[in-house]
Structure 1
């Protein structure tokens, strides 16, 4: 039995309503992640059907990340002034509308505008979900909750991407976006009907206006350390991702037919590892788990980025190891960062944190594009190993930053586990 700061016992089992909330937020994350993730697998089909250049397609991908990041910063100051359920409903319906526009777009300018619009709303949903988790679940449960929410990432690869590619081959590249609209609309209705208001934070009155609240959150030293840790994690995580399929096909000689299986296997690994790492994070020191995962990831990245043509099973194993490393870092890092903000600052903190994650991801993709070189569409990628070395350096920096976050939590007399 665990105890809180008032020495009252904490129930570590989830109630039926808590299980429902976790499922609802996980499904919400699934649709948002799938909307972002599906762009890369659809790239070849989309570029051919709309006659897009690689630069234009890259802008469509990065436009979402940058608009999501900017939107999160602009809305962070308002995040703690409203019922979190109302905020989630507002931004989720905007995300649904943006995804619908993507499915209806038939020219490059319309598609680019639709991705920007979708990013404005979709980029805020993750931070709202995290604020709800932080309000509803004590830190002794939070590692497991975050682990379940992160399963949306794995679910998008196991189910979302293969299904999206299948229906896109039959009904065109627009069909996956329309599928997401239908699913997200059903989830939105469940939020309206079943999710209880989340407004306990409103009882703590603040005299600051939205801009003042945003500045107050940014001015907190312990918050800034958390923001910096998030930024470095995102830089490392997003740097290799956009070029993963190109490297697998052109350098490792993975066939296009094998690629969906690679996505699916990586997604299944994420689904299996997330709850396990979540439980470990609630039971043992989160920083220790993060450090072990970072060392593991660094080893896998160095080996993988220096591979040449190899058997498919080698590529598969390396991708599974890569996924285990990424996800095993994410859960303890997010759980630790979520313990930093005070209740009245949680919405703003999560909004800024999510924004920095998106912006850092966009910068990482842009930096990776400047480092990696491909002479023609069928040539091997060059300098991909350079990205691996950079990720190792970023991982080392992240370990020191997460250590500072862990020490801050312990010094604030919060449970370090």
Structure 2
């Protein structure tokens, strides 16, 4: 592989900015697609004639596929070249985006979202690698800052863009808008990035490990997505999937620990700082993303919000995160990273407790308030925690540690989406039964009848009221569980040793 210190001089200074913008835009597109479909799930479900729960497969399938390809990125760029792999990934992402928008059924949409994830997974780490090769050391800080801004802007704009498009045009266009971005990035990337192409070499690939990884993750995600509709372990199919996932996972661990060229280097978990750091990362990301999934669905279904308004409420967190992010590097090295992470994660937990006090009569700005306040903690969680995890491993293990960290983070998003919806659905049923037991329908029905309603109308009003309040109580219950998970994550951080100073986090992706 060519030396990045030398390859930077092969790009004209006048082209560096354009190359950096192309790479940042590509990363933005991939991150955007992780959240752009969240607020569009009700539109997709209504159009395809499926339940909202089934509509969330559009989210989880993308995240799982993306997680699977992340460990493969290192082998892919060595085998085919960094620039070629980047262009191929963007082209594949654009192709599957078109197919997603043309999908007439849920099955085709999920398959195409998997294709999107498989092509989009390598784009994030590859763009970081290319930024390091494009810019000289004295400019990399600003270049990585631009890249980091797109990572924060993606989740912020995703719900807003997705909601606006779904309300004013059609959900199909949340995928079609990727096409012009892909064409621009391919044409510009092919011209600008050619000088920093890397040498290729044929390396062995852990085919059995890759097969085991796909197998146990697939069984686990199918169990989580189908379980809530099939009475969980009361269904033989769910039991079978659970057993297969457990067996596949155990065999995968044994194989990876004994393989000379593992697809996932599990030996990195011997470092205490990395282990507890990524556990905290997974728990925090899972609990955080659960709210991004539940809030839009709750606001659009019983609360009557448009997708645009629901997306705006969801997006406030990332907007304030952008304003706070510049202050984080100034504190790095001066303050123990564990203090910053633990305080930020506990702050997120308090915001979850705040959201657990919501009522069905809440107004827009009362919904937005905890989202706005929560955003100020996001940067103080992500960047310092990366320094803890990557600072705990050996320098030659940094790339593998960063890949494994991103894999677990993406998997946490997929798993938490399914679990949060399951918890929310179960809590709705329990709350509905409890409300029905305490309600005195005869007295209420008599009052409504005296007010001029017919018998059927009064029954429908009572049913709607019970359903609305049951959903609201279930939302509160889910947020309380999320708060508990966040408080646990804040405590787990302290099981890691103090991060060493001057950690290079450029390999994090």
Whether TM-score is above 0.5 comes out as yes
Q: Per the alignment, in what secondary structure is the counterpart of residue 293 of structure 2?
A: helix
One of 202, 209, 219 as aligned partner of 2:204: 209
Whole-Å separation in 2 of the counterparts to 1:197 and 1:283: 39
Output aligned runs, 1:15-414, within 5 Å.
20=18, 22-79=20-77, 83-132=81-130, 148-156=146-154, 159-195=157-193, 209-211=204-206, 212-214=260-262, 217-220=265-268, 221-222=270-271, 227-248=278-299, 255-256=305-306, 258-263=309-314, 265-281=316-332, 286-308=337-359, 309-338=361-390, 347-373=399-425, 374-375=428-429, 378=468, 379-382=471-474, 383-400=477-494, 403-404=496-497, 406-407=498-499, 409-410=500-501, 414=503
Whole-Å separation in 1 of the counterparts to 2:493 and 2:84: 36
Q: Per the alignment, in what secondary structure is the counterpart of residue 358 of structure 2?
A: coil
Distance 1:264-1:231 versus aligned 2 partners, 3 A rule: closer
| Structure 1 gap segments, 5+ residues each | 1-14
Whole-Å separation in 2 of the counterparts to 1:288 and 1:138: 33
Whole-Å separation in 2 of the counterparts to 1:314 and 1:149: 32
Deviation at 1:89, TM superposition (A): 2.1
Distance 1:32-1:55 versus aligned 2 partners, 3 A rule: same
Distance 1:225-1:268 versus aligned 2 partners, 3 A rule: closer
Distance 1:38-1:192 versus aligned 2 partners, 3 A rule: same
Structure 1 stretch displaced more, 112-121 or 335-344: 335-344
Q: Could you report, residue by residue, the CA deviation over 1:358-401 in whole angstroms, capped at 9, with x for unpaired residues?
A: 11211112221222233587432512233233332342245236
* 1:5 matched residue in structure 2: none
Deviation at 1:219, TM superposition (A): 1.7
Deviation at 1:68, TM superposition (A): 1.7
Task: Report the RMSD for the aligned CA atoms in angstroms.
Answer: 3.8
**Contact 1:153-1:270 at 8 Å conserved across structures:** no
Whole-Å separation in 2 of the counterparts to 1:75 and 1:65: 16
**Contact 2:289-2:417 at 8 Å conserved across structures:** yes
Whole-Å separation in 1 of the counterparts to 2:83 and 2:155: 28
Distance 1:53-1:313 versus aligned 2 partners, 3 A rule: closer
Whole-Å separation in 1 of the counterparts to 2:143 and 2:315: 23
Whole-Å separation in 2 of the counterparts to 1:136 and 1:341: 26
Whole-Å separation in 2 of the counterparts to 1:415 and 1:55: 41
Structure 1 stretch displaced more, 265-274 or 132-141: 132-141
**Contact 1:148-1:274 at 8 Å conserved across structures:** no
Whole-Å separation in 2 of the counterparts to 1:351 and 1:240: 25
Structure 1 stretch displaced more, 153-162 or 365-374: 153-162
**Contact 1:127-1:353 at 8 Å conserved across structures:** no
Whole-Å separation in 1 of the counterparts to 2:161 and 2:275: 40
Distance 1:27-1:277 versus aligned 2 partners, 3 A rule: farther
Whole-Å separation in 2 of the counterparts to 1:141 and 1:324: 27
Deviation at 1:115, TM superposition (A): 0.9
**Contact 1:154-1:271 at 8 Å conserved across structures:** yes
Deviation at 1:35, TM superposition (A): 1.6
Whole-Å separation in 2 of the counterparts to 1:283 and 1:82: 42
State the structure with more CA Rg.
Answer: 2
Deviation at 1:52, TM superposition (A): 1.4
**Contact 1:102-1:115 at 8 Å conserved across structures:** yes
Distance 1:317-1:152 versus aligned 2 partners, 3 A rule: same
Aligned positions, number: 394
**Contact 1:140-1:282 at 8 Å conserved across structures:** no
| TM value normalised by structure 2 | 0.66
Distance 1:321-1:334 versus aligned 2 partners, 3 A rule: same
| Structure 2 gap segments, 5+ residues each | 1-12, 207-259, 430-463
Deviation at 1:170, TM superposition (A): 4.0
Distance 1:236-1:339 versus aligned 2 partners, 3 A rule: same
Whole-Å separation in 2 of the counterparts to 1:255 and 1:171: 17
Whole-Å separation in 2 of the counterparts to 1:142 and 1:236: 32
**Contact 2:284-2:345 at 8 Å conserved across structures:** no
| TM value normalised by structure 1 | 0.78
